[in-house]
Structures are given as structure tokens and as C-alpha cells.
């Protein structure tokens, strides 16, 4: 891991910086992280925002989808990420059923992300049906990022992980939802797996910045799941992912080399061992009654 100090010399990114970047036409960068070490590396690479996504459920915890992820899972990982990052805007993803039951529960759970998890904001999925929830959370002083298009917590309702907003009716609804979420107080919106021209239209019409994932180049920023970018998650790779490394392969090579070395007696070598002064060694043998 990098031994560089954190970016104490740089001003932390805020929700206002997001809006400023949109105004001056600078792209906003965002990646997911779920642990201290990865967050530290991403933060020091000067990312604008780190999302502790509920994709955690799939890429770290090995579930089929994000539905089993709990508030306690999220808080645990948010705390680790917040210890590793002091520059990026930290956003915690509200898991399935943490904001749907009642406004009170939604506010309480959103608050936990800031109070216990060290996050700066929360994200939740859904369109117009979430507007009262968003107003309530924003009303409690907690910044909210919306999420439209492919909303993975609705995977069963959507009939799988598939692109959204392809028909005129679907696209119009998504367009209207984006305006409703802005009016409800969202500081930004994730647009996932929708046609690039629809994402462009939505981004042009909104004052708040859009962050795309599988939504083309004309959003106000981009996000990817870090495990996809690094080639760490081998179950499937969505077509919108650009792999910047193949760490799955690198890790496999490293683990196989380690196993081979241990089995062949080639690790550890002398330089990996600690020494003991002769006098201490001889005293020990005398004490134990063992002949040298
Ligand atoms: O959970 C997650 O990682 C997300 C991103 C895909 C936006 O919601």
C-alpha cells in the first residue's frame, strides 16, 4: 500500500463541489470501495467520490444479488472505508428494505450511515415512489443521491439485470422521475444501464449532476464497481465495464506461486527469518536440558 500521507493539503469534496463541477463542465469521478485499503488507494488517486455500494453483496459477500445485504453489513464496511479516505465525498448505499417500510425507519437508517458509518451522504434506488422518503431524509439534513434506470434491488420486478428506458413510455417515465427526484432534494443521480441518448437528455435538463454507469459518455460523471474495473469479479462482466487490470489472473498467479514455493521448501528463505543471539539460544538449551 502507498505510504503517502492522506490529502490533508486538499479540500475535501462536498456535494457543493459536485454541483460546481457540473457548472464548469468538469467530469465527476466515482468508484466503489468496501474496505480500508482499497479506499485509501482510491482516495489518494484523487477520486471525487467513493460509493460504498450494496454491490458489496455480490462482489465481496458472494450473494447472487444485492437483496440479502443488511444495514449492519453496510455500516461495518462504511466504517472501514471512512478510515481510509479523507478527501473523496463518501456515499453509503441504503440496502434493500432499509428505506421502504416507513419514513421514520428511512431517516433513522440514513442517519446511521453518517453517525456510525462516517459517510457524508446516502444513496437510494427508485423514482417518484421514493420522493416522500427523499424529502424526509433531506429534511433531516442528510444529502441524498438518487438512482434510476437499472435499480438492482428491483431485479425480480425488472426480470433480471437488463437495460432500462428503451421504449418511449419507459424513457418518458424515467425522464419525469429524474425531475421529481431533483425537486425532492437529491444532490445528484446515478443513471444505470439506460440508452446513452436518454442519459444525455436527462443530464442536460437537470441542474443536479448525473453519474452514469452503462449510460454513455454524456452524463456529468462516471462510476464503476471497482471489482469490475480491476477484473477481480469473475462471475460476469457487464458490457459497459472497461477492465483496467486483470487482478483475478494476477492473484491466481501469485497464489499458485506461493503454494509451489511452500511445497518445494523454497519459502521462507533465510532473509525471511528472525535470528536469535547464540547466548540466548545456548541458555535455552541448557534450561531445557537439550544437548546442542
Ligand atoms: O451498489 C453499487 O455499487 C451501485 C453502483 C453500481 C452505482 O449502486
* Known active-site residue 192: yes
Condensed to tens digits (0 to 9), the pLDDT of residues 215-246 reads 999 999 999 999 999 999 888 889 999 999 99
Nearest atom in ligand 1 to 123's CA: 8
Query: Looking at the predicted structure, is the pLDDT value of residue 8 above 70?
Result: no
Q: Which residue's C-alpha comes closest to atom 4 of ligand 1?
A: 53
Nearest atom in ligand 1 to 223's CA: 7
User: What is the pLDDT of the chain when averaged over all its residues?
Assistant: 96
Question: Which candidate in 116, 129, 132, 192 is catalytic?
Answer: 192
CATH code for residues 7-245? 3.20.20.60
Count other Cβ atoms within 10 Å, centred on residue 206.
19
Residue 149 Cα to ligand 1 middle (Å): 12
Q: Which residue's C-alpha comes closest to atom 3 of ligand 1?
A: 53
Q: What is the pLDDT of residue 236?
A: 83
Cell 458472494 belongs to 62
Longest dimension (CA), the chain: 88
Q: What is the pLDDT of residue 2?
A: 46
Count other Cβ atoms within 10 Å, centred on residue 249.
11
Query: Who has greater pLDDT, 235 or 112?
Result: 112
Beta bridge partners of 222: 29, 212
- The average pLDDT across 104-113 equals 98
- What does the chain look like in DSSP terms, one character per residue? ---PPP-TTSPPP-HHHHHHHHHHTPPEEEEE--SHHHHHHHHHTT-SEEEE-TTHHHHTS--SSSTT--HHHHHHHHHHHHHH-SSSEEEEEPPTTSSSS-HHHHHHHHHHHHHTT--SEEE--BSGGGHHHHHHHHHTT--EEEEEES-GGGHHHHTSS-----SHHHHHHHHHHHHHHHHHT-SEEEEES--HHHHHHHHHH-SSPEEEESS-TTSSEEEE-HHHHTT---S---TT---S--HHHHHHHHHHHHHHHHHTT-SS-GGGSPP--HHHHHHHHHHHT---
For the chain, the C-alpha Rg in angstroms (whole number) is: 24
Residue 281 Cα to ligand 1 middle (Å): 57
Condensed to tens digits (0 to 9), the pLDDT of residues 16-34 reads 999 999 999 999 999 999 9
Count other Cβ atoms within 10 Å, centred on residue 78.
28
Domain borders along the chain are 7-245, 250-288
- The average pLDDT across 267-292 equals 96
Query: Looking at the predicted structure, is the pLDDT value of residue 139 above 70?
Result: yes
Answer whether 177 contacts ligand 1 (Cβ < 6 A): no
Condensed to tens digits (0 to 9), the pLDDT of residues 140-155 reads 999 999 999 999 999 9
Alpha carbon of 31 to those of 83, 172, 229, 290: distances in Å? 16, 28, 9, 59
The number of residues making up the chain comes to: 292
**Quick one: 283 exposed, middle or buried, by C-beta within 10 A (0-12, 13-18, 19+)?**
exposed
Q: What angle do CA 115, 73, 220 make, to 5 degrees?
A: 70
Instruction: Quote the pTM value.
Output: 0.94
- The average pLDDT across 186-207 equals 98
The answer to whether residues 42 and 88 touch, using CB atoms and an 8 Å cutoff, is yes
With a pLDDT cut of 70, the percent of the chain lying above it is 97
Q: What is the pLDDT of residue 23?
A: 98
Residue 193 Cα to ligand 1 middle (Å): 11
Nearest atom in ligand 1 to 32's CA: 3
Query: Looking at the predicted structure, is the pLDDT value of residue 7 above 70?
Result: no
Nearest atom in ligand 1 to 190's CA: 7
Residue 4 Cα to ligand 1 middle (Å): 28
Answer whether 136 contacts ligand 1 (Cβ < 6 A): no
Residue 180 Cα to ligand 1 middle (Å): 21
- The average pLDDT across 184-193 equals 98
Question: How do beta strands 89-93 and 221-224 pair?
Answer: unpaired
- The average pLDDT across 123-151 equals 98
Question: How do beta strands 28-32 and 221-224 pair?
Answer: parallel
263 falls in which pLDDT band (50, 70, 90)? Answer: very high
Least trusted range by pLDDT, from 50-59, 177-186, 227-236: 227-236
- The average pLDDT across 148-166 equals 96
Query: Looking at the predicted structure, is the pLDDT value of residue 6 above 80?
Result: no
Amino acid at each position: 500500500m502507498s505510504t503517502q500521507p492522506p490529502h490533508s493539503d486538499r479540500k475535501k469534496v462536498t456535494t457543493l463541489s459536485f454541483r460546481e463541477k457540473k457548472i464548469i463542465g468538469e467530469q465527476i469521478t466515482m468508484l466503489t470501495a468496501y474496505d480500508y485499503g482499497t479506499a485509501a488507494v482510491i482516495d489518494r488517486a484523487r477520486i471525487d467520490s467513493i460509493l460504498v455500494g450494496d454491490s458489496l453483496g455480490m462482489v465481496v459477500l458472494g450473494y447472487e444479488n444485492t437483496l440479502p445485504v443488511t444495514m449492519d453489513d453496510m455500516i461495518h464496511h462504511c466504517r472501514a472505508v471512512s478510515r481510509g479516505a479523507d478527501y473523496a465525498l463518501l456515499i453509503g448505499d441504503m440496502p434493500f428494505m432499509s428505506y421502504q417500510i416507513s419514513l421514520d425507519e428511512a431517516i433513522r437508517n440514513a442517519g446511521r450511515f453518517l453517525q456510525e458509518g462516517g459517510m457524508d451522504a446516502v444513496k437510494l434506488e427508485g423514482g417518484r415512489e421514493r420522493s416522500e422518503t427523499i424529502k424526509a431524509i433531506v429534511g433531516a439534513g442528510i444529502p441524498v443521491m438518487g438512482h434510476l434506470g437499472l435499480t438492482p434491488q428491483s431485479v425480480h420486478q425488472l426480470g433480471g439485470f437488463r437495460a432500462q428506458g428503451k421504449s418511449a413510455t419507459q424513457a418518458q417515465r424515467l425522464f419525469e422521475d429524474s425531475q421529481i427526484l431533483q425537486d425532492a432534494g437529491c444532490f445528484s443521480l446515478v443513471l444505470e444501464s439506460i440508452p446513452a441518448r436518454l442519459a444525455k437528455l436527462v443530464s442536460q435538463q437537470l441542474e443536479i449532476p448525473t453519474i452514469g454507469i452503462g449510460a454513455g459518455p454524456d452524463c456529468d460523471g462516471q462510476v464503476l464497481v471497482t471489482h469490475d474495473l480491476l477484473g477481480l469479479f469473475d462471475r460476469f462482466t457487464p458490457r459497459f465495464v472497461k477492465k483496467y487490470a486483470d487482478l483475478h489472473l494476477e492473484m491466481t498467479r501469485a497464489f499458485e506461486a506461493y503454494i509451489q514455493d511452500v511445497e518445494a521448501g523454497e519459502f521462507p528463505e533465510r532473509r525471511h527469518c528472525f535470528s536469535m543471539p547464540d547466548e540466548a539460544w545456548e541458555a535455552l538449551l541448557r534450561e531445557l536440558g537439550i544437548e546442542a
